[in-house]
Amino acid sequence: MSTPQPSDTSHWPPPFLLYLGNAPDDLAAKTARGLVQFRPEWCVGQFRGPQCKTSVHVPDMGFAEAVQAGARTMIVGVANAGGSLGEAAVHDVVAALDAGLNVASGLHERLASHPRIVEAARRNGRHLFDARTPPETPVGNGLPRAGLRLLTVGTDCSTGKMYTTLSLETEMRARGLKADFRATGQTGIFVAGRGIPIDAVVADFISGGVEWLSPDRHDGGWDLIEGQGSLFHPSFAGVSMGLLHGAQADALVLCHEPGRAHMRGLKHYPVPGLRETLEANLEAARLTSPGVVAVGVALNTSRLPAAEAEAACRQAEDLLGLPAQDPVRDGVARIVDRLQACFAD
C-alpha cells in the first residue's frame, strides 16, 4: 500500500466504480458527476447507499460485481462540508478493498488516516490515493511568468468553474489552439490525472502552489486554471484570493448560477451581484497581473426552463458587456471568440 503524489495515476487506474454513499443531493455527488461527464469511458458503475438521494446514471453495482465488470479503482465521488468520510463510508471502503479494488478519495479526511482502511489495503495488496494530499510547493513570489493564463472565478462555490474550464479547453483545442486544463480540486485531478488540491495547501503556499501548477510556458498556448470558492464566501475566500494571485491570469471568466438565494452552506449570506463580483476579482488579480481582462460569463442554468435561461444570459451580457453562455446548453464558443479577439497577435 502506498500514497502517491497527485500526478501518479498508476495507483488509481481506471475503469472506476463511483462511490456515492448516502449523498443527500446532486451537488454532493459532483465528483462522480464530473467523471461521468468528462471521462464516461472510465466509469463502469455507481455504488449507492440506502439513503442516497441522487444518481449519476450509470449502472448500480456492488463491489464484487464492479470488479467482474472490469473496475480497478473505486472513486469516493462525493463531497461534503468539512470533507469527512464517516463510519458508513469507512466500512464500504474496507469492503471495496476486500473485493479487490484500489480506492481513491478527494475528501479532506484522508483514507490513510484510518487504520482499518490501511490494514485492508495492505492485506489485499491494493493502493490508496488521497487526492487532497498536496505536493510540496514554494511560497509564491509574484514574478512575471511567460505564457498565457485564464482563471475561472465565481459568485459562489459550485457554480460550474471546473465544467467551464474543461469546456474552454475542449473548444479551444477544437480550434487548433494549444490549451491545457490545470486542475485545482479533487474532481479536476481525477478527470485530468494530475493537479494540486489547492484548498489543502497551507495558506502561505497557495499562490506558490498555483505558480508551481502553471509555470513558464513558451509555446503560445494557454493554461486554463480551475477556480475554487468565491471572494464573497466567508468560508473559502482565502483560497480564491490565493488562486488569483498565483495564477497571474491574463483573462478571467466569471461563473454564476442564476436564482441561487444564498451562498452555499450559508443561508445568512446572499449571493453577490455579477458586477461587484467581477470588479472585486479583477482588482485582486491586478496585484500580480496588471493587464488582466474579463472575457466572458458562464452561467449554470440547469434549474431554469430554456426561455428563462436564455433571458438570464441576455441580462448578464447587457449588464457586463461580455458574452454570457451556459456551457452545457450553449457551449463556450462566443467566450472563446472574445478571448481570441482580446489576445489576437
Same domain, yes or no: 104 and 154: no
pLDDT band at 131 (very low <50, low <70, confident <90, very high): confident
181, β-bridge pairs? 224
Same domain, yes or no: 171 and 119: no
Distance, CA of 235 to CA of 180 (rounded, Å): 29
Residue 216: CATH number of its domain:
3.40.50.300
- What range does the domain containing 65 cover? 9-130
Distance, CA of 173 to CA of 189 (rounded, Å): 19
Distance, CA of 278 to CA of 157 (rounded, Å): 15
Distance, CA of 61 to CA of 337 (rounded, Å): 43
pLDDT at 82 over 70: no
pLDDT band at 187 (very low <50, low <70, confident <90, very high): confident
Residue 14: CATH number of its domain:
3.40.50.720
pLDDT band at 7 (very low <50, low <70, confident <90, very high): very low
Crossing angle (nearest 10°) for helices 87-98 and 115-124: 10
Q: Give the closest residue to 31 by CA, choosing from 188, 249, 260, 187.
A: 187
Q: Give mean pLDDT, residues 240-244.
A: 97
Query: 3-class DSSP state for residue 138?
Result: coil
pLDDT at 2: 36
Where are the strands (E) in 65-147, listed by range?
73-76, 102-105, 128-130
Number of domains comprising the chain: 2
Model confidence pLDDT, tens digit, residues 23-73: 888 878 888 998 998 899 999 999 999 999 999 999 999 999 999 999 999
Same domain, yes or no: 211 and 318: yes
Same domain, yes or no: 124 and 161: no
Is the pTM here over 0.85, yes or no?
Answer: yes
Q: Which long-range contacts (CB under 8 A, 24 or more apart) does 215-219 make?
A: 215/145, 216/145, 216/146, 216/147, 217/145, 217/146, 217/147, 217/148, 218/146, 218/147, 219/178
- In the chain, the percentage of residues whose pLDDT exceeds 90 is 79
pLDDT at 260: 93
Q: Which amino acid is at 95?
A: A
140, part of any domain:
no
1, part of any domain:
no
Same domain, yes or no: 183 and 59: no
Same domain, yes or no: 38 and 76: yes
4, part of any domain:
no
141, part of any domain:
no
